[in-house]
Amino acid sequence: MYPGATADRTEANFVVVGAPLDASTTFAPGTRFGPRRIRHFSETFDDYDHRTDRRFTDCSVHDAGDVHAWDAVDEYLEFLEGTLRDVHWDDAVPLLLGGEHTVSAAGAGAVDPDVFVCLDAHLDLRSEYDGNPLSHACVTRRILDPDDYDDAPDIDVQEAIILGARTGSEEEWQWASENDVTVVPPDEAAEFVPQLEDRLEGREAYLSVDIDGADPAYAPGTGTMEPFGLEPRTMRDVVRAVAPYATGFDAVEVNDRDDGQAASLAGKLLREFVFSRVDALE
């Protein structure tokens, strides 16, 4: 169980769902251990949050466990999306623990947001990678461009804001420039935060935290490290700014190849999300 996620499922405002998918990770695998690692390295965090004067155990979070991942990724995403849609129909916010980034397609599919906000080193706008349209390198494209793939989630996302992106193929950069994608490089992310509020006002967002958005010095436990990344404090500020508008959240691409830095950062950002979201509601 995620530490402090003590609420009953029927009364919860937030529901943690683990999605240990590890099928298309392109360099170092291990995201199958992500949900377990994030839960484990969240054990040290205090229940009390001084900034918001709240206790995590009072925020009504439930942990529904993991949706065991299997090899047929399209079927898995369909089942996972349904599981998360149940959470959304119960007026709770799903907190998805990856797993590779591909699981965000299920998360976004479940809540059908207006805007997909993402912290990520990579654009993830490829139509396919190594012949696989369900690769983790394609997830933002899957969410934003349903016409590009037959079994894309049946959703209508108007735009994507990718903060911390610093790499992609030439085609991805081109596609981003021609479509409703705002790419905010790591150096500009901190100053972009105040604009997020204006951009999201009156709209529903889905927030996806790909832990490789952080500089690999801070979060080495991830499959495709990319230097010159975000400061954890900037990621925290983004999470705080987006949380009030978010109807879904995920933390993905955490693996077990470090001493817990990546999992700890992911767990802390999840808690920041919960505190900020509850604070905004009341």
Partner 1 sequence: MAKQQKEVRDLGEGGYVLIDDAACKIDSYSTAKPGKHGSAKARIEARGVFDGKRRSLSQPVDAKIWVPIINRKQGQIVSVDGNDMQVMDLETYETITMRIPEDVDASPDDNIEYLEMEGQRKIV
Distances (CA, A) of 226 to 35, 63, 122, 151: 22, 31, 8, 30
Nearer to partner 1, 69 or 214 (CB): 69
Burial class of 198 by CB neighbour count within 10 A (0 to 12, 13 to 18, 19+) = exposed
78 binds partner 1 (CB under 8 A): yes
- Bridge partners, residue 255, by sequence: none
Task: Work out the number of other CB atoms within 10 angstroms of the CB of residue 127.
Answer: 14
Whether a cis peptide bond, with omega within 30° of 0, leads into 99 is yes
Residue 79 as a binder of partner 1 (CB under 8 A): the answer is yes
Size of the site for partner 1 (CB under 8 A): 13
The full DSSP string for 227-268 is: SS-B-HHHHHHHHHHHGGGEEEEEEE---SSSSSHHHHHHHH
Q: Which stretch binds partner 1 (CB under 8 A): 55-63, 77-85, 171-179, 237-245?
A: 77-85
d(CA 45, CA 38): 12
CA atoms of 42 and 47, how far apart (whole Å)? 10
Q: CA 189, 195, 199 angle in degrees (round to 5)? A: 120
Shortest reach from residue 69's CB to partner 1, in Å: 9
Among the listed ranges 83-91, 158-166, 204-212, 263-271, the one in contact with partner 1 (CB under 8 A) is: 83-91
Q: Is 120 annotated as a binding residue?
A: yes
User: For residues 47-76, which are near partner 1 according to CB under 8 A?
Assistant: 67-68, 70, 72, 75-76
Cα distance between residue 181 and residue 35, in whole Å: 29
User: Among residues 83, 135, 247, 261, which is the contact residue for partner 1, using CB under 8 A?
Assistant: 83
Are residues 99 and 112 in contact, defined by beta-carbon separation less than 8 angstroms?
Answer: no
**124 is annotated as contributing to ligand binding:** yes
* Member of 86, 159, 231, 279 binding partner 1 (CB under 8 A): 86
Binding span for partner 1 by CB under 8 A among 29-37, 78-86, 125-133, 228-236: 78-86
Rule CB under 8 A: is residue 45 a binding residue for partner 1?
no
Work out whether 9 is an interface residue with partner 1 (CB under 8 A): no
Rule CB under 8 A: say whether 85 interacts with partner 1. Answer: yes
Q: Which is nearer to partner 1, 72 or 281 (CB)?
A: 72
Indicate the annotated binding residues for Mn(2+): 101, 120, 122, 124, 210, 212
- Interface residue list for partner 1 (CB under 8 A): 67-68, 70, 72, 75-76, 78-79, 82-83, 85-86, 89
